[in-house]
Amino acid sequence: MEYKETRRGYVDALIELAETHPELVVLDADVAKATKTELFQDRFPGRFFNCGVQEQNMLSVAAGLAMEGFLPFASTFGVFATCRAADQMRNSIAYPKVNVKIGATHCGITTGGDGASHQSNEDIAIARSFPHMTVLVPGDYEEARQATLAAANHPGPVYLRFGRDSYPVVPEIHTPFSIGKGKLVKKGSEITLISTGIMVNEVLKAQEILEKRGISARVLHFPSVKPLDEPLLIAAAKETRGIVTAEEHSIIGGLGEAVAATVAANCPCAVRRVGVQDVFGESGMAGELMDKYGLRAPDIVDEAMRILTMK
């Protein structure tokens, strides 16, 4: 299996876009080596701005550039973009609905050795709570590239979520990318498994385990967390016995809660959430943390079986 970085998909798309979008500029908060935007800087030095370790100011500068007709992509770690600069994201970008794209890397528990202070397990919850904010969480390198291309052509603010580690390339999700649309990856009739971000690989493994047990599992992948593909989701709620969501994010405020709220309002069914269980992370290797915090295929299978064995 091939492994590639989602943050590299982001930057490769920016370089591609720069050839046809002369108004595109990239801002970074002194972490260009880590976000990979140094590769953009090498190609387009006059269109790259290092704002220093001043994430709040960077988002304000991005907002100003957008108001002057530029297409700014502001890049930093997810925890800094959403927690440190939440006020600027809300009041300078979301509220006036300016055309700023926020490229957040090092998101989720797989940030690994940097520990709890840098593991943004709350960023989706923060970003999706702001009106006008679109939230995209691609599953692999290619989908990250496609999501960045889509964001550039989408009017209004977009939060793009990428990781630090190298993640499996999943050809099953390499279908056309459309904001607000989910993807039917596997057909199934008994239980629905829904992924966002890098959890798609674990969900597909869980589907295989269930299939070997004679259980038909539908797999949906939602790289667009906001807006959510409600028709695809409601159909799954109607046609299967329940839903298991899987995200590399807190179970509070992310994909799981978005799915549960939509289902409750339209077609109530059992929903179980696999994710970080309302705790801070710790330092460790990415794979070890995925194991410890219950983000693996067997954890997804366990939740599916809880639904299927409910009376």
Divide the 311 residues of the chain into consecutive groups of 10 and give the mean pLDDT of each group.
96 98 98 98 98 98 98 98 98 98 97 94 98 98 98 98 97 97 98 98 98 98 98 98 98 98 98 97 96 98 97 76
What average pLDDT does the chain have? 97
> Are the beta carbons of 79 and 118 closer than 8 angstroms?
yes
One-letter amino acid for residue 264 of the chain? A
Residue 157 confidence (pLDDT) = 98
> Are the beta carbons of 98 and 67 closer than 8 angstroms?
yes
Residue 1 confidence (pLDDT) = 87
Residue 38 backbone phi and psi in degrees, to 5: -60, -25
> Are the beta carbons of 168 and 3 closer than 8 angstroms?
yes
49 half-sphere exposure, CB direction, 13 A CA radius: 19
Residue 212, burial from CB neighbour count under 10 angstroms (0-12, 13-18, 19+) = exposed
Q: Catalytic: which of 5, 55, 122, 247?
A: 55
Residue 178 confidence (pLDDT) = 98
Interatomic CA distance for residues 284 and 302, integer angstroms? 25
Residue ranges and CATH numbers for the domains of the chain are: 3-168 (3.40.50.970), 172-306 (3.40.50.920)
CA dihedral 118, 120, 121, 125 (to 10 degrees): 160
Q: Is 55 a catalytic residue?
A: yes
Residue 158, burial from CB neighbour count under 10 angstroms (0-12, 13-18, 19+) = buried
